[in-house]
Structure 1
């Protein structure tokens, strides 16, 4: 008898070996698979699969794809792999068309998705969705499927970095850091729960590029011991109609799952979220505008129910949608550093820089912290190449003049 889900996949692997040796037909494989699923009908795998209400053809196809993932960590299943399911290694044309056009029930039930390569969805390559891995394969407890670890930036991997803030920024960031500490955060959430208020913390860091927004999230995570689940909006947008919305929803679903299985809620980071925080289009008629509006509506709904910590960073300063503005509990504006702050940044990056030279650079060049770091790194590389540790203040000043692409000291390159 088959005892559990792990035993089921071991037995299915044996059946596939028999199929490869032409000892089993496609129809026999289908019948045996359905019988085995009946034997483990009380398992989460069989129960969740029944809830999907698939016919026997789609059930076998999903079991086969799950088998490839369980046995080989295969997240790139091609038509040539699916051929192995059929007699004479020949997949029916109707099934190939169904998968290419995404008409298969496996897509409709969010069990499989197309593989993305360089931001484009491949119509001939497939993988299990995170939902399928988490909900149907949860009993297997495979390390390679541990979604609590996949793609997370671990708090203990973050390097300590000194950041210099203006007074208003520092006050708000210190306050937020205190609240996100585990004991304090649990107390605050308990009080909010008792008061019947939303327990999630949604924050937005906004301001000019290079002012330390993303790095501040990293340092908050390091200080509070929280991992980061980073969502880069541009990477989850798909060329398929409706797929981007599913990807955004799946990101929040995965975050909820991680929170359930983690002693400490991670930070959900929407980095460079300009594309989703702008003002929604009224009366959108073209597909792109409709997609953007749909994504924004999904995020707005999710922000209402999130119980963890979401931080969005954006360069937007004027056209933030009012609906988003209302939902962000903490709104921290990152201004370009003052001359005094720039001097501190210079000395934190180049320790041998004198107070006088740091103040001179800060006064002469209105640079962001990110731009100062670029110049400091370039200077450090040059000192390594030259073998000299001396500070060349003239070379640094010239680098400051050349840092921005539209600097008048740059020569125009053209044809």
Structure 2
């Protein structure tokens, strides 16, 4: 079947177009979009395929999709924007904004430790009631009462689900607004981004369906970052399993496609966006906080430098492989390589979504598929050709 590519591509970036098209031949791609912004100017904005598993609804220029953990980058940006406004001190104790959080010996945990995944709260020990994933008060109250799994700051471990509730509640306490509203106010609005945490029913007709994940790698690393991760995930008592499967709502088949999941604010994993939104957001961060086509500055150059500095590195207590984090952003590693510059930062999402900034290249990159692929160390197999083509064209 002939692939119909839509959108625009600067002739100088034709290899990116070719790599994007080739991914539909090499992998079980269903629908996807890729966008590249260089020095604040969008040079690639392409989409193709279908937004439904039945292949009846073509992917459109306005299609948005759940980007899973790529949402965390937007949440981190909200925290930094709030800090720059003087309403949030990242070095202050979380309890200064959220007094109940001081329970179970957490009075000394700092906001920065929530952002760099060193707070020791990647999971809940007790299974919350069914539906807790969609109940903000239930999740934040449970986390406020939880005892850390390790001494905060002593190590780090990916807060796969809890990150959004923890950072989101601090934002709510400091600003008096939920993270979805503050995202619209401080980031999506000023930059003109089609980016949502908690998406309204009026957008349902253009949201891409996310089919079940396809495993693309054989052997011990199948379905996760590595053999140790996969084995640990199968043990329901392990920290890895608790982090990724609790609350139980997370393992309900197709939950991300439900209206309930779309309407809720689950800031670690249910942001809806397109590649254009991710590329423009990170394109602004790669160029001093603003885009060349106008709009407000969302973060100062000084704040961006603080946001991208490495804070956590080493064997991840949850992912069981080496990971790197700054204050809320993931940094490239063998586990999840992306970008090529030494100051590259961003965030991938489960199954393939990716957004990142490379300040040295002035580059913002966004890729949003709806067919999620399980991958081991090295990241999504669709990334390398796209990223290599982008850098070859700079």
Judge same fold: TM > 0.5, yes or no.
no
Using the size of structure 2 for normalisation, the TM-score is 0.20
Using the size of structure 1 for normalisation, the TM-score is 0.20
Query: By percentage of residues, which structure has more helix?
Result: 1
Structure (1 or 2) with the larger CA radius of gyration: 1
Larger RCO, structures 1/2 (Cα 8 Å, 6+ apart): 2
